[in-house]
Structure 1
Amino acid sequence: MAIQVICDLSLPNLTADIINNGVAKGNTDYIWQVGAKMMGLALLGLVAAVGNVYFASTQAQKMGMRLRSKIFKHTMALGNKEFDDLGASSLITRTTNDVLQIQNVIIMMLRMMIQAPLMLIGAGIMAYQSEKQLTWVFLVAIPLLVIAIGGIMGSAVPLFQKLQKQIDKINLVFREGLTGVRVIRAFRQDQFEQARFEVANKDYTQTAIKVFSIVSIMMPIMTIIMNGTNLGIVWFGANLIGEMNMQVGDLVSFMTYAAMLLFSFMMLSMIFVFLPRAQAAAVRIIEVLDTKNKVQEKADAQVAKPDVVASLEFDHIDFRYEGAEEKALEDVDVKLTAGQTLAIIGGTGSGKSSLIALIPRLYDVEAGAVRVDGQDVRDLTKVSLQDKVSYVQQKAVLFKGTIRSNLAFGKADATDEEMWRALEIAQAKDFVADLPDGLDAVVEQGGDNFSGGQKQRLAIARALIKPASIYVFDDSFSALDFKTDAALRKALKADRDISQSVVVIVAQRVSTVTNADQIIVLDDGKVAGVGTHQELLADNEVYQEIVHSQMKEGEV
């Protein structure tokens, strides 16, 4: 950039030299000589400019790449609470549009922010050396520019900040429309969703039109001021030439330096107009990077002990969500060892999912302790704890790729034999075998090319392929028919490896939990009873109500 500026600042002086000493005196050789020098400087300036654009662009893109990677990596390390607070749509906007705003300003800064001050100072010095008597023109032009730019920035900056939030809203509505398209069609809410999107889109468009209209005023104002400046220079310069106090070449040179000076000032002003938008984007990105997962490892966290007898213990635990007045769970106390199955049943909102979320330490208990294989989960490193637990969530999530690539999430080096074994236990072997490509069958985004029951069985197989001490199924049999449900639970009991682990099943259906070694009955976050099916059926009112709501007297 320094080389480019030096070359640009040298050319007007050489132009003046050609006019004063070549054209005025009719010296053709001199014109060719100085012209060749100008050509050389112009070419050198061109090479320097190309180099500057190349390096500015590559550095801005690399910074964008690093930012996106850092945001994604940090987001993956956030807890459920922090992720919910930020919101998926907002995180997408921050990773894409906000990073793009910063990239654009980085390019502008590496080019204009360096070039403009150098050019401004250099052109001012050269103009003063060229003709001192005309420099007073800048005392009029520059204050006018400052007033115009200040007014435009004052109006545009708040609107740019508002614009970023409105992009979030468009993203939110559009994302909900895409993910919920089947529900929207089923309830014939197409018009309602289109109206929602139209409102968000219109708000963004109106703000964008307003802010860019304000910014676009800058160019006409700059043009008027620059042309007015040139008019003043020509007017007063012509008088000086007429009085023989100035040469024509010097006037041309001064006009060129004046244009450079004012154009540099305009470039700086453009940066200061777009900088607030990038600043708003940077604040939003920093907000993500500064958000810390409240579930932190201890400084002296231990690695979970390998090759120990599997066990799971809830030791008189209490749990409360952040900011909640009431406890979500209170005094849950149960212990299981290898080969046993724990079932958790209760009404909606009774705390079933909250309880099992404590096992892989998605949240921390308020009182008591959760122990995996005899160790408090808070004393373990997160990686070693999560290696011990295999978790199937309520919503079956599959990733775009193949059945093989999805199963490899559970165990990266799994053999085909291990994959077919997991599919067989999950009651998915038959339908996968019937697919033309088998394990290499394509899985669309979200697994949309499979039914709900098929997605659930593939998600279960992915969890089963992972060697773990504890297998957790969070209402993940809900899309299965009774026959498949029973066959799956029977296969879990029969498998040699899984029988060495603890199995935790959250369920709504009584038929799913009847054969469990221990059943926890939750009612409004409190333990209403713990025992086997027969024990609870004999003396637990809450469990009896659940059973009788699902079965007839003879079936019970």
Structure 2
Amino acid sequence: MFKLAKNRISTWAIIGAVVFMIIQVISNLYLPNLTADIVNNGVVKGDINYIWQTGIKMIGFTLLSVVAAALNVFLASRASQKLGQNLRSDVYSKVINYSNDEMDQIGTSSLITRTTNDVTQIQNVWMMILRMMIMAPIMLVGAAFLAYQKNHTLTGVFLIALPILAVFIGLIMYFAVPLFKAMQQKTDNINLVFREGLTGVRVIRAFRQDQFEQDRFEKVNQDYTHNAIKVYSIMALMFPIMTLIMSGTNVGITWWGGHLIASGNLETGNLIAFMTYAMQILMSFMMLSMIFVFIPRAQASAVRISQVLNQKTSLVDPASPKTFTNTTPALAFNNVDFRYQNAENPALSGVDFSMTAGQTVAIIGGTGSGKSTLVNLIPRFYDVEKGNVSVNGLDVRDVDVHALRDEVAFVPQTADLFTGTVRDNLLYGNQKATDDELWKALEIAQAKDFISADPAGLDLHVEQGGDNFSGGQKQRLAIARALVKDSSVYVFDDSFSALDFKTDANLRAALKADDRIKNRIVVIVGQRVSTVADADTILVLEDGKMVGKGTHDELMKTNATYQEIVQSQLKEGADA
């Protein structure tokens, strides 16, 4: 936890918080001494002037304590909140550069929990550290020393009270700490189920699985609740036990102190001061104990965040990245094998083909044949196991990832749109694009009609996830976003699936007719034969292997797998 705070928390804020806390503690420790003086030298002797003079001192030290406490809280809050801000920024920056392997390994719901709940745990504990962890030991030592000065005989009470308090607090920590650690994983589970329910709400309603999902959420919710009830019930015992021990200590001090006063060995004011110091000692002991209860939970959160920050990404930029100098677009797969993490069998094996500027390559095959896996290797979302993928003559592992992805415009299977406007979403492709270029991309993507039909035009609002558009409209906007980008390779990963046959045909025709696109390489993953039939080269995949390569006519004559695909779609009435 302290390693995480290094270079992320303000040193000056910590120093300031420590200084003001020391001032506050010294003021608080001095006040019982002044109280004793008022009683011993003012009240007992009837000296009103001494009472007033000492009372004014008490007011001064009280105000000093209040000001110091306020400044300590301000600086501690600033330092802890700044730490949380820096941690969230660092985690987000790290995650945004993860490869798909790392994202799959940790999981989206866990990453959300780590960025929010876990960071909050660390913030809160650092606030406690800069408040109670500084205050408690100073006050404990100071109050013990001053109490001993008042009467060393009475300090024998602590030999009974403190061991009893230590035993009870030890038992509470023994049972509470494991439950606190478990709460983070249970929070992950709630986020996972809740997120799946939100993103899949249409599927849930369509299959009338509302009750099933409610029961599923109720299960993880109850698991978290029962854990929380247990841990907070245990923690709730601390305060009544503490009150009982403090009250017992007061009774012991009063009884013993009364005998000392009666024998003339203790002044009344000193007894009052001693009782105050006793409470400060016990309260300091309890504050330290609370910190030791909450630190393990924060430490567990720190470990989870460190896992994210220390996770080694498989996509490492080369020490001396090469620069794209070949202005002629080119794409090649050279005997490529690829295996997903921890998978027994390769997802791709022996994929070998090359394309040059102006060519369109289409990829077709059954579900799970490796089509999306293949195109994900082009922008280097994953690294190959064997062989290499090259763009414009360079191995994708030899160039900077950002430079590579500038050369590849990618449209994923899921048409993800972001909250904002149509213009904002299209500018993801090219921040410097003009309105004319945006409209041109929309025209090619067959999206111009429904955007121009709205008075807002490019400023038409986009809801979260593009929920105010149909599936086909979202796909066309995602395609337009890629077309705004001036790249060497345009990849469409099953991006025409929600389009009707006419729109699909018009879009492909517009791509071929565009002066810029027709001089680039276009990669199309398709399920329908009609989508891939007019490609210059069609790759046929089956179980991760390339079982066919050629034009539509060539494959119809020589490739059994392609013939089966065509026949199956003809039987279903598809237009091959």
Range class of TM-score, shorter chain:
over 0.9
1:257-336 aligned within 5 A: 257-305=277-325, 308-336=327-355
Secondary structure at 2:362's aligned position in 1? strand
Quick one: which of 85, 88, 93 aligns to 2:108?
A: 88
- Counterpart of 2:182 in structure 1 is 162
Instruction: Identify the match of residue 479 of structure 1 among 498, 504, 509.
Output: 498
Does residue 376 (structure 1) correspond to residue 405 (structure 2)? The answer is: no
Distance between the aligned counterparts of 1:554 and 1:42, measured in 2?
86
Other-structure match for 1:42: 62
SS at match of 1:135: helix
Deviation at 1:464, TM superposition (A): 0.4
**Identity percentage of aligned residues:** 62
CA–CA distance in structure 2, aligned partners of residues 244 and 317 of structure 1: 95
Q: Alpha-carbon deviations, 1:344-366, whole Å to 9, x = none?
A: 00011111111111111111122
Q: TM-score, normalised by structure 1?
A: 0.98
Q: Which amino acid aligns with 1:107?
A: M
Task: After superposing the two structures, state which structure 1 stretch, 179-188 or 323-332, moved more.
Answer: 323-332
CA distance in 2, matches of 1:180, 1:527: 34
Letter in 1 for 2:303: V
- Separation in 1, partners of 2:27, 2:546: 81
Q: Distance in 1 between matches of 2:302 and 2:431?
A: 37
User: Structure 1 residues 311 and 554, CA, compared in 2 at 3 Å: closer, same or farther?
Assistant: closer
The match for 1:186 is 206
Question: CA contact under 8 A between 2:148 and 2:155: conserved in structure 1?
Answer: yes
Secondary structure of 1:436's match? coil
Calculate the TM-score normalised by the size of structure 2: 0.95
The question of whether the paired residues in 2 share the 8 Å contact of 1:392 and 1:459 is answered with yes
CA offset at residue 554 of structure 1?
11
Q: Does 1:210 align with 2:230?
A: yes
Is 1:174–2:194 an aligned residue pair? Answer: yes
Aligned to 2:251: 231
User: Match for 1:443 among 462, 484, 504?
Assistant: 462
Distance in 1 between residues matched to 2:419 and 2:30, nearest whole Å: 59
The Cα shift of 1:367 comes to 1.9
List aligned pairs for 1:524-539, cutoff 5 A: 524-539=543-558
> Aligned with 2:244: secondary structure?
helix
Give the aligned residue type for 1:448. Answer: D
Is it true that 1:349 corresponds to 2:368 in the alignment?
A: yes
Tell me the distance in 2 between the aligned counterparts of 1:555 and 1:403: 33
Opposite residue 334 of structure 1, the aligned amino acid is F
Q: Secondary structure at the match of 1:14?
A: helix
2:438 to 411, 414, 419: 419
Structure 2: distance between partners of 1:554 and 1:351: 23
Residue in structure 1 matched with residue 71 of structure 2 by the alignment: 51
Any stretches of 5+ residues in structure 1 without a counterpart?
none
1:429 aligns to 2:451 (yes or no): no
Instruction: Compare 319-328 and 274-283 and name the one that shifted more.
Output: 319-328
CA distances 1:452-511 after superposition (whole Å, capped 9, x unpaired): 000000000000000100000000000000000000000001111111210000000000
SS at match of 1:304: coil
Mapped to 1, the partners of 2:345 and 2:199 lie a distance apart of: 33
Q: Counterpart of 1:361 in structure 2: which amino acid?
A: R
How many pairs are equivalent? 555
State the alpha-carbon separation in 1 of the partners of residues 574 and 133 from structure 2: 83
Structure 2 residue aligned with 1:121: 141
Task: Give the secondary structure class of the aligned counterpart of 1:136.
Answer: helix
| Structure 2: distance between partners of 1:368 and 1:270 | 57
The residue type paired with residue 281 of structure 1 is S
Maintained 8 Å contact 2:336/2:387: yes
Match for residue 138 of structure 1? Answer: 158
Q: What does the per-residue CA deviation read over 1:145-171, in whole Å, with 9 as the maximum and x for residues that have no partner?
A: 111111000000111111111111111
Once structures 1 and 2 are overlaid, which stretch shifts more, 292-301 or 521-530? 292-301
Give me the whole-angstrom Cα distance separating, in 2, the residues matched to 1:389 and 1:158: 49
Report the more deviating stretch, 451-460 or 291-300.
Answer: 291-300
Unaligned runs of 5+ in 2: 1-20
Deviation of 1:322 (Å) = 2.5
Q: Is the 8 A contact 1:304 1:381 kept in 2?
A: no
Alpha-carbon deviation of 1:81? 1.1
The residue type paired with residue 247 of structure 1 is E
Partner AA of 2:258 in structure 1: A
TM-superposed CA distance for 1:324, in Å, is 2.2
Instruction: Determine the C-alpha separation between the residues in 1 that align with 2:293 and 2:26.
Output: 27
Residues 364 and 539, structure 2, Cα contact 8 Å, conserved in 1: yes
Equivalent in 514, 523, 535 of residue 542 of structure 2: 523
C-alpha distance in structure 2 between counterparts of 1:555 and 1:122, whole Å: 88
The aligned amino acid for 2:474 is K
Question: Secondary structure at 1:551's aligned position in 2?
Answer: helix
Equivalent position of 2:125 in the other structure: 105
In the other structure, the counterpart of 2:23 is: 3
In the alignment, the residues of structure 2 paired with residue 396 and residue 347 of structure 1 have an alpha-carbon distance, to the nearest angstrom, of 21
Query: In the alignment, which residue of structure 2 is the partner of 1:551?
Result: 570
Amino acid at match of 2:361: L
Aligned counterpart, 1:358: 377
Partners of 1:332 and 1:256 in 2: how far apart?
80
Q: Is the alpha carbon distance of 1:346 and 1:145 closer, same or farther for their aligned partners in structure 2, counting shifts above 3 Å?
A: same
Q: How far has the Cα of 1:40 moved from its partner? A: 0.6
- Give 2:416's aligned residue: 397
Aligned: 1:503 with 2:555: no
Q: Counterpart of 1:104 in 2: which secondary structure? A: helix
Give deviations 1:114-171, integer Å, cap 9, x for gaps.
0000000000000001111101111111111111111000000111111111111111
* Alpha-carbon distance between aligned partners in 2 of 1:63 and 1:333, rounded to the nearest angstrom: 50
Whole-Å Cα distance in 2 between the matches of residues 81 and 320 of structure 1?
11
1:199 deviation in Å? 0.8
Q: Secondary structure at the match of 1:324?
A: coil
CA distance in 1, matches of 2:228, 2:473: 45
Higher mean C-alpha deviation, range 407-416 or range 312-321: 312-321
The range that moved more, 362-371 or 152-161, is 362-371
Kept after mapping to 1: 8 A contact 2:154/2:253: yes
- DSSP 3-state at the match of 2:52: helix
In structure 2, the CA distance between the partners of 1:554 and 1:182, relative to structure 1 (3 Å rule), is: closer
Could you say which residue in structure 1 is the equivalent of 2:87?
Answer: 67
Deviation at 1:254, TM superposition (A): 0.5
